[in-house]
Structure 1
């Protein structure tokens, strides 16, 4: 599912793990984890970057040597070369010798990389997917330009401004570039609607589109709220405050904060969010760099919206950087129960430095530490390749399934405010471990997902039953609607036609999950994003564990909790 309003960080070559919002759950999480944390952990309000005085002679010699070699290559090499591209390559390889998170972003990619941390952008406001090399509208943003122009779920976009985008293997990034543009400008879309014989031309006037980082906020029951934060962007704190206030008015007295798959972002937005939960003046995070230029200490200062009441924070191996700051601060101060699996382990802070040609250097300038003194950064001494495969090794060692597969050195032992033992040196270990549930993920289900057939089938179903679905309230749909065996059989027939052979055992294994996924995607088209997440909850075992923890806590979540190790 691709949303024009959501752009992932630009991966560098051999990118480190990443996570997208948990839309399609654990089965697709692992591939997506390969593009994550590059734009995250950014320090805001740091001192301006200054030239180093540590080794000026060495720096000058290195600069002159590189300039001399590049000049010779450009002038005398046997073939024509792109000197700028060579320079970009050399810079990238140089930074790889430093740490896994210092990164150079060429000018042509800088805008896309920055979009990850923006709270809005100029575009048409449409969520789309690629089915069989065809751009298909999943949902126009409510009240956005695309909806106002009449676009509907299931519409196939054949051309943009006269240029074909159907059947030409267009990439998601290329489609972003065609749909986005200056506010007030117009784009002509050639659209094929189901059951209509001829395509129609739709003119859409671009406008400002919100790029929300709070994916969803709703009540799990009459007292328990749920808020999912996908990243810490420029508008995250304001979005969170509004969501929390809305839930408080609905009766919220306890909260599940979902940071699974959250790769981080602006550090100050993360600490402001943590401050909403922590009373008094307590340390939230501190950073230490070379000398004292980037040494900072951040404390809670404001009267928060939810400083009392049961709180659970959901994390997993895709939670990184600023999301680890939040989880670590709440854990160290015994303010929340952390539930899930060990987080990614990124404790390095990057300073964004704009370069003259429009490119950007994001240079690691400090390490951050939780209030108890823990460094969450996992080791990268074995090199970039080993670092990039660390999450794979966790799975191979059984860490995703058994808490006793995780071991920490005694030298990395720390204490929370109430004296509980916690560990540093590689992510935040949850207080309550929840293994990854892969029992339903057959190879057949994986093939259905990889061919986008689940979303395509759900979208077609919505189009065929649109009137009856829209005449039904979501609450009625959620309690009474069920994907039938006949509909599952129709999906397998479609899959077989698309080259996925029937697999009776594989289908049987994934039937419950498949029904849930199909129902959730139908709900998304008919009732919106919140309905999608509410349906997914049925098969979200980690959220179910978090819900039981927060409702069974009786206001004292931390009592009797010991760290799993």
Structure 2
């Protein structure tokens, strides 16, 4: 989640309680500094001609157009439209967008430290972050933020972006909040001083049983590798022998964090990834070189259609070196490297400068046509419609792009990382009624209210006892249905019964996270995943695959049932 941490309705059943909300912007290349970038290349006279023409037109519009115009907006629009003629990942961000995008990959931000949720046009505090300035000031879960620095923050049209803008700011600066609290008639006023708020990218790290460990990584930010190493060390002290590394839904980030993680699994001096571009300055090779924490032991990596960029670098390196069994669905297919170039006004150009390749030579970039970004953006919809997310036989391999792993297994380039073991997307329990509950945030709001009202009673038991003994009752479901009706959602007993397992598991997960997990300073949301993973078909399949992962590690490929099929 992006914080000041926002809680929003999520349409993916398995991720509805995943707290980090990530802007889907990836820096596949990490931070490559291009101080000499503009030297060389095409003749400067050609560029100058184009620049002079644009400046002439802009000047004519500014001085002679019949109505007043916003020149800055025209320039931003012109740049964005120009870049649409290039590849799908070259992009331009204005100053505000660039700041928001960079913050997703930084190790923290300056703010007041709250998780919030917008519900019925009202901003609710889900929880003040432990040790943060809001908790110190006395802000409580369930508080409604009415105004910030006397600017109204309730009513139709309130957005996450508006909340971020008001709550974030330079550390040491003061924020005046007007709060409404349940049980009090009068508004409360708080003065909160902004401070540095850490962000986390390792969402979960826990032992599934006495030997199997699980680590969930949501993105590759500044702090990801250190978070990962810390999590891995802790699991090893708890008896770790088999590891599940979950990269599903991970949109990428800094390449160096992904290759550093790969180095913890891959022994010796081996190629991890290489990049090639038009300009040789952007060609580079990254190899393993450290004694890693988990170079031996069965390893399973989970990927899906939301795993992109740096996630694919990591999964591809582990697959090519036969180090991990890859389980799930074909990954996104982003193999283009962007260089972030900060412009004078604070805006930013993300310019594609090379392609990356896995150790076997595979380009993971899926096909695209220059200037046809709309078609490219529909790829995941096409996968759904073609049945690829549900049937392994619907995955199409390009037989002209055949490569081999270290052990001689066939892998294919030209469009993402194809898993060794395919697991279909589970949509059996989805329903229109469930999505309506998501759209109005009914499940989360009910669970938080229940946790608030029953916190003292729930805290008398341990979380492990809660997992084993607590059930979401029919009476609780009935109360949730009443909440939905009040929000305009018509009851539908048939669809409710179909989706009931999802509704109950998510409700339980949110309650567990709120009561036992919110005081953690590590950023881990283990409680959520410990409740949801046993109902996750990909996770369930992975737990059963460690015999095959062990055979793979030993180089005994003939015993593996890994389908490969070419067009």
Which residue number in structure 2 is paired with residue 42 of structure 1?
29
2:50 is the alignment partner of 1:54:
no
2:239 is the alignment partner of 1:278:
no
Residue 40 of structure 1 deviates from its aligned partner by: 2.6
Residue 65 of structure 1 deviates from its aligned partner by: 1.1
Residue 225 of structure 1 deviates from its aligned partner by: 1.2
2:214 is the alignment partner of 1:218:
no
Q: Is the 8 A contact 1:21 1:262 kept in 2?
A: no
1:243 to 209, 231, 240: 231
2:443 is the alignment partner of 1:447:
no
Which residue number in structure 2 is paired with residue 539 of structure 1?
535
Q: Unmatched 5+ residue regions in structure 1? A: 9-19
Which residue number in structure 2 is paired with residue 15 of structure 1?
none
1:493 to 475, 482, 497: 482
1:527 to 516, 519, 543: 516
SS of 2:130's equivalent? coil
Please give the per-residue CA displacement for 1:294-334, whole angstroms capped at 9, x wherever unaligned. Answer: 11111001111111101111111010001100000000000
2:359 to 360, 364, 371: 371
Residue 149 of structure 1 deviates from its aligned partner by: 2.1
Q: Distance in 1 between matches of 2:12 and 2:137?
A: 27
Residue 221 of structure 1 deviates from its aligned partner by: 1.1
- Most deviating of 166-175 and 305-314: 166-175
SS of 1:410's equivalent? coil
Correspondence list, 1:177-188, <5 A: 177-188=165-176
Q: Unmatched 5+ residue regions in structure 2? A: 518-524
Q: Distance in 1 between matches of 2:250 and 2:354?
A: 21
Which residue number in structure 2 is paired with residue 478 of structure 1?
467
Q: Distance in 1 between matches of 2:389 and 2:337?
A: 27
1:386 to 372, 375, 388: 375
Residue 551 of structure 1 deviates from its aligned partner by: 6.2
Structure 2 CA distance for partners of 1:215 and 1:51, relative to 1, 3 Å? same
Please give the per-residue CA displacement for 1:129-153, whole angstroms capped at 9, x wherever unaligned. Answer: 1111111111222222222222222
Q: Is the 8 A contact 2:17 2:510 kept in 1?
A: no
Correspondence list, 1:343-358, <5 A: 343-358=331-346
Which residue number in structure 2 is paired with residue 339 of structure 1?
327
1:118 to 98, 103, 106: 106
Correspondence list, 1:293-442, <5 A: 293-381=281-369, 383-442=372-431
SS of 1:63's equivalent? helix
Q: Distance in 1 between matches of 2:500 and 2:511?
A: 16
Residue 47 of structure 1 deviates from its aligned partner by: 5.0
Structure 2 CA distance for partners of 1:231 and 1:22, relative to 1, 3 Å? farther
Q: Distance in 1 between matches of 2:366 and 2:304?
A: 15
SS of 1:465's equivalent? helix
2:501 is the alignment partner of 1:512:
yes
Residue 163 of structure 1 deviates from its aligned partner by: 2.4
SS of 2:282's equivalent? coil
Q: Is the 8 A contact 1:404 1:564 kept in 2?
A: no
Which residue number in structure 2 is paired with residue 461 of structure 1?
450
SS of 2:257's equivalent? helix
Which residue number in structure 2 is paired with residue 205 of structure 1?
193
Please give the per-residue CA displacement for 1:143-199, whole angstroms capped at 9, x wherever unaligned. Answer: 222222222222222222232212243111110111112212222222222233333
Q: Distance in 1 between matches of 2:424 and 2:98?
A: 37
SS of 2:545's equivalent? helix
SS of 2:364's equivalent? coil
Q: Distance in 2 between matches of 1:237 and 1:317?
A: 23
Residue 498 of structure 1 deviates from its aligned partner by: 1.2
- The alignment of Structure 1 onto Structure 2 pairs a total of residues equal to 550
Please give the per-residue CA displacement for 1:478-507, whole angstroms capped at 9, x wherever unaligned. Answer: 111101111111111221121111101100
Q: Distance in 2 between matches of 1:22 and 1:447?
A: 9
SS of 2:544's equivalent? helix
Residue 57 of structure 1 deviates from its aligned partner by: 2.4
SS of 1:190's equivalent? strand
Which residue number in structure 2 is paired with residue 79 of structure 1?
67
Structure 2 CA distance for partners of 1:46 and 1:111, relative to 1, 3 Å? closer
Q: Distance in 2 between matches of 1:471 and 1:57?
A: 75
- Most deviating of 219-228 and 430-439: 219-228
Q: Is the 8 A contact 1:285 1:368 kept in 2?
A: yes
Which residue number in structure 1 is paired with residue 522 of structure 2?
none
Q: Distance in 2 between matches of 1:421 and 1:430?
A: 12
Q: Is the 8 A contact 1:5 1:121 kept in 2?
A: no
SS of 1:286's equivalent? strand
Cα RMSD over matched residues? Answer: 2.2
Q: Is the 8 A contact 1:519 1:535 kept in 2?
A: yes
Residue 564 of structure 1 deviates from its aligned partner by: 4.4
Q: Distance in 2 between matches of 1:27 and 1:155?
A: 22
Structure 2 CA distance for partners of 1:164 and 1:83, relative to 1, 3 Å? closer
Residue 385 of structure 1 deviates from its aligned partner by: 1.0
Structure 2 CA distance for partners of 1:129 and 1:123, relative to 1, 3 Å? same
2:58 to 45, 67, 70: 70
Q: Is the 8 A contact 1:124 1:179 kept in 2?
A: yes
Q: Distance in 2 between matches of 1:551 and 1:174?
A: 50
Correspondence list, 1:150-161, <5 A: 150-161=138-149
Q: Distance in 2 between matches of 1:295 and 1:181?
A: 38
Structure 2 CA distance for partners of 1:555 and 1:183, relative to 1, 3 Å? farther
Residue 553 of structure 1 deviates from its aligned partner by: 4.1
Structure 2 CA distance for partners of 1:262 and 1:136, relative to 1, 3 Å? same
Structure 2 CA distance for partners of 1:114 and 1:400, relative to 1, 3 Å? same
Residue 447 of structure 1 deviates from its aligned partner by: 0.3
TM-score normalised over the length of structure 2: 0.93
